[in-house]
Chain A
Amino acid sequence: MSRQAVITGLGVLSPGAIGVKEYWELLSEGRTATRTITHFDASPYRSRIAGEVDFDPIASGLTAHQVSTLDRAAQFAIVAGQEALADSGLDFNRTDPTRVGVALGCAVGCTTSIEREYVRTSDSGRLWEIDQDLIVKQLFDYVNPSSLAAELARLVGAEGPSTLVSTGCTSGIDSIGYAAQLIEEGSADIMISGGTEAPLSPVTVVCFDVLRASSNRNDDPAHACRPFDRTRDGLVLAEGCAILVVEELEHARARGAHIYGEVAGYASRANAFHMTGLEPEGKEMSEAIDVALRMARIEPTGIGYINAHGSGTKQNDLHETGAFKRSLGEHAYKIPVSGFKSMIGHSLGAIGSLEIAGCLLALQEGLIPPTANLHEPDPLCDLDYTPNVAREAKIDAALTVGSGFGGFQSAMILRQLDDEVK
């Protein structure tokens, strides 16, 4: 009997949205939540725009101790994790904890805490020898992001296989792909998965500044991320988190769980090209899409929606447009495409799971969220990118893709289960 991974719980913290309900409202209304950075004084930097989560940790149920010791990325994972668990309806008193694991995605770990602690213990970078007397005991956990997965595993009492998947900006997809694989092979019945990222700190902003990869449309931060638009000038950094309960189908059915959809296909490939650059044709992304389609046993005509990486950099949007055409042929022109980063920015290792959560909601609601800020289409990006206004559509299966530093290219197909299978 083959085992199949389905998603039975969602929890979200996004720029402009606390919780799944607000997240869907934002996406379906095509609202943008990017703004001038408020987390720190960004005036010295080229790009001063970000998607920030308006997150009150105490109001979200965290203790003062958690707030003072846990990195923001860990706090996100706990709060979104609690929402996902409640949504899944799982009763952990009646679930075998040894069959529950964690696969959390994150690209840059506890950057904010790392930078803060570095500045504090090095006299603002003047000392090469870090002052050992100023070190906090959490430093090890900040520097080693497996602590984030451990935090989530302790939250749910998971005793099964647990790890952090860190594949740059595809971490959010790859963590869920990893979770699905563990369920299919029988290593777990439930995986708490998804991605968390809270990278908004000077060093992160600088990293993208020096590459000129981020938008410097500082006078119009709400409309700075413009995927597929002729005037696009880069990505907008963001923070966020989506935690998903990934569960074995029979396990979910036996307890009468609500099933959002199945992980029908997933693949990741490396472009072996450049740590930060993309070759224009999108061959490896296309290869990942092809494998995901084969695994899902689905023809291009079966894909009703493409959730693009849509980072809004010149090269990315061309790259993935090429990949979609390569894999889906003529049908690529008929499938609605859209990019959520236009609304909520690019939260690195979290965004892939935020996008997956959005795809599952789109399947359920029969509505395709738009690409915001798309007013002057780039003639080289000639697919249907669902500009600015959501569109009603009955979708059976959605494709989501991601692309990241290190050359990672990932694709996942999410499909609604037939009513009789549900």
Chain B
Amino acid sequence: MTTSTMSTTTTKTKTVITGIGIAAANGLGPTGYWRALMNGQSGLGPVTRFDVSGYRSKIAAEVPDFAAARHLPNRLLPQTDHITRLSLVASDWALKQANVTTDDIPSTEIGVVTAAAGGGYEYGQRELAKLHSKGPSFVSAYQSFAWFYAVNTGQISIRHGLRGASSTVVSDQAGGLDAIAHARRLIRHGDNQVTLIGGFDSALCPWAWASHQSSGRMSEATDPAAAFLPFDERANGFAPGEGGAIMVLEAAETAIERPGVRIYGEIAGYAATFDARRPNRDPGFRRAIELALADANAGPSDIDVIFADAAGEPEADRAEAEAITEIFGPRGVPVTAPKTMTGRLFAGGASLDVATALLALYWDAIPPTINVREVDPEFEIDLVLKHPRHRPLRTALVLARGLGGFNSAMVVRKF
């Protein structure tokens, strides 16, 4: 398999986003979601989906008013976790918006690449409960796939009859960017013309909650406005959320030929690095940013806004602020974390951040970071607080990190 047979080194096919499907706690669909971001409307609140009284952490962002049965056939409901239902519906929306159908594009050239983190937690918990409290004969015939990491890719492919190259990548919260980059790779490689990308996640069952609590990074604040304060002196962990985004990525050359297609922007650069925790090694996060900029043929001054990973945990926030300052200079570029309104979304987080960055390019506005009153004075970053900033935007940088050492960075640009 040599690169000369593919097209990777000779012509770097441009890939663009032409459809965005979003479900987040503060909005369904790109329009509603964007309006919520501009208004600084938070989706964080006390957990209602299960009894959270026995847990130290109490706050999450829940997607309200999502009636899966209104969107999906009945036969799909018993075989799908909540995150799969959200993924399927968001994929419907994204394909519709991009006007992609298998009537016009060969189904063998449309693939699906999603990010996964913990899989379908709630489905898995329910079936484990049946197995161990009632017995093997009570376990669903769908359990084999309903909880597992590849489920959303498989179900989206089946729902829309997409037969192209498809995959699922797992690198905790960096996975969303890795999935998009892999989709770009498959298009450049000539496997696919179009690839659905993205991820969804939910932490709203006791098993998911317990697992996130075990990481020691969830906020224990009881006030929703205090439960996720990245880069703030009061930072005390994160509030998890439910949601994500599915988008349509395709080769620019064919996208521009389809009538009525809106091109949100180009996936212009990407890189991933890993911190192996060896002595005397530089942190990999900065290198991921530098490599992503180089991949986009961009310099620091080309970046108009940064969508931060925004861990909400003092040490991780410091590492991110330092990486940004080292490359862009003190307060050199606006930084924002609209995820303060949606909670951290694990497999869905970086996908939603890329969608948000593309909407920002489209509307020429930077959505704010809410609830943070003041940036920790030790961090020399220009965090966009309280209100959106309206200004022409051409290029955005999206950052993501996964627990264990994963760092990814992606540059999106107006096409």
Query: Could you tell me which A residues sit within 8 Å of B by CB distance?
Result: 2-5, 44-45, 97-98, 101-102, 107-109, 114-115, 118-119, 121-122, 124-126, 128-132, 135-147, 149-150, 153-154, 156-168, 174, 178, 180-181, 184-187, 202-203, 206-211, 262-276, 284, 287, 291, 294-297, 404-408
Contact = CB atoms under 8 A, between A and B. Distances in A.
B165 A269 contact: yes
Given A139-B210, A157-B276, A287-B163, 17 more contacts: A4-B2, A5-B1, A45-B136, A107-B150, A143-B121, A143-B211, A146-B172, A149-B171, A150-B404, A159-B284, A160-B272, A163-B171, A180-B1, A202-B131, A263-B1, A272-B161, A275-B155
**Chain B CB within 10 Å — which of A121, A210, A265 has the most?**
A210
A109 to B, nearest CB: 7
Contact of A178 (B133, B135, B167): B167
A408 B79 CA distance: 18
13 contacts: A2-B3, A44-B135, A124-B133, A132-B213, A157-B276, A162-B272, A164-B169, A165-B167, A168-B145, A184-B6, A210-B141, A268-B166, A275-B145
Interface of B: 1-6, 8-9, 50-51, 54-56, 79, 107-108, 111-112, 116-119, 121, 124-125, 127-136, 139-145, 148-151, 153-155, 157-158, 160-172, 175, 178, 182, 185, 189, 191, 206-216, 271-278, 281, 284, 287, 402-406
Given A207-B143, A405-B154, A168 B133 contact: no
B169 A165 contact: yes
Contacts of B127: 203
A265 B212 CA distance: 40
A159 B185 contact: no
Contacts of B118: 143-144
A166 B189 CA distance: 20
B158 A295 contact: no
A168 B149 CA distance: 8
B166 A98 contact: no
A268 B195 CA distance: 13
Contacts of B141: 210-211
A253 to B, nearest CB: 15
B168 A270 contact: no
B293 to A, nearest CB: 15
Contacts of A153: 274, 276, 405
Q: Is the interface of B mostly helix, strand, loop or mixed?
A: mixed
A264 B213 CA distance: 45
A407 B154 contact: yes
B108 A97 contact: no
The 9 nearest A-B residue pairs measured at CB: A406-B154, A125-B132, A150-B404, A125-B133, A207-B144, A166-B149, A139-B214, A161-B272, A140-B215
A145 B160 CA distance: 28
A102 B274 contact: yes
Contacts of B191: 267, 291
B216 A159 contact: no
Contact of B54 (A129, A180, A268): A129
Contact of B211 (A140, A211, A272): A140
B402 A146 contact: yes
B276 A97 contact: yes
A153 B142 CA distance: 33
A135 B213 contact: yes
Secondary structure class of chain A's binding surface, majority of residues: mixed
Given A210-B143, A275-B79, A275-B154, A2 B2 contact: yes
B163 A271 contact: yes
A214 B80 CA distance: 23
A298 B143 CA distance: 40
Contact of A162 (B6, B135, B162, B171): B171
A394 to B, nearest CB: 22
A273 to B, nearest CB: 7
A202 B127 CA distance: 12
B211 A284 contact: no
Contacts of B135: 44
Contacts of B2: 2-4, 184
B157 A132 contact: no
A264 B151 CA distance: 29
Contacts, number: 298
Contacts of B158: 272-275, 407
Contact of A146 (B117, B124, B134, B278): B117
Given A5-B1, A284-B163, A119 B277 contact: no
A181 to B, nearest CB: 6
A203 B132 CA distance: 9
Contact of B167 (A109, A126, A167): A167
Contacts of A3: 2-3, 9
A159 B276 contact: yes
Nearest to A283: B163
A45 B131 CA distance: 11
A174 B185 CA distance: 14
Nearest to B102: A272
Contact of B206 (A115, A129, A295): A129
Nearest to A124: B132
A45 B135 CA distance: 10
Contacts of A138: 214
A267 to B, nearest CB: 7
Contacts of A166: 116, 148-150, 168-170
Q: Which of A126, A174, A406 has the most CB of B within 10 A?
A: A406
Nearest to B274: A162
Contacts of B112: 270
A294 B167 CA distance: 21
Contacts of B55: 132
A333 to B, nearest CB: 26
B133 A160 contact: no
Contact of A97 (B212, B281, B405): B281
Nearest to B171: A163
A295 B157 contact: no
Contacts of A147: 403-404
Contacts of A137: 214-216
B144 A276 contact: yes
A128 B322 CA distance: 42
B383 to A, nearest CB: 28
A159 B281 contact: yes
A146 B8 CA distance: 27
Contact of A295 (B5, B131, B168, B402): B5
A267 B6 contact: no
Contacts of A266: 1
Given A135-B214, A407-B154, A168 B175 contact: no
Given A130-B206, A166-B150, A296 B1 contact: yes
A4 B55 CA distance: 52
Which one of B160, B169, B406 has the greatest number of beta carbons of chain A within 10 Å?
A: B169
Contacts of A44: 135-136
Contacts of B215: 137, 140
B56 A132 contact: yes
A167 B274 contact: no
Contacts of B145: 168, 275-276, 405-406
Nearest to B112: A270
A3 B131 CA distance: 50
